[in-house]
Amino acid sequence: MIDATRAVTFAEEWIESWNDHDLDRILTHYAPGIVLLSPIAQRRVGNGRVEGVDALRSYWQEALGSEPNLEFKLIETMIGHSSLTIIYCNHRNRKAAETFEFGADGKVIRSIACYL
């Protein structure tokens, strides 16, 4: 189970690593077999399903390069069963929610991104 302290710590660290544009630090949160589902991935690479940490690195490296002003502001963290959802706002004032499912080792095995 994920307790409130772990959830908030993860959310703050995740947001901070994105705001620092530190791809290596961002990827430390994810398991090698991560599956990301995202409508932005669908638009950018023609597939809304990104599988594996190497594919995720490639996808986000391009995304970070094209968004030099990228910045997230944490709004809320919600706790689920072996999962949590982070609600945040980006630099364009666009609201987003990401749900993370964690494996036994504490790394994210599935991430689902949703946007308004």
3-state class (DSSP) for residue 79: strand
All structural domains of the chain, each given as residue ranges with its CATH number in brackets, are 4-115 (3.10.450.50)
Q: What percent of the chain has pLDDT over 90?
A: 91
Q: What pLDDT does residue 38 have?
A: 96
Chain mean pLDDT for the chain: 96
- Model confidence over 53-87: pLDDT tens digits? 999 999 999 889 999 999 999 999 999 999 999 99
* pTM of this structure: 0.94
Q: What pLDDT does residue 1 have?
A: 76
| Sequence-ordered list of residues with C-beta below 8 angstroms from that of 71, at least 6 positions apart, any chain | 18, 19, 90, 91
Pick the closest to residue 76 from 84, 86, 64 (CA basis): 86
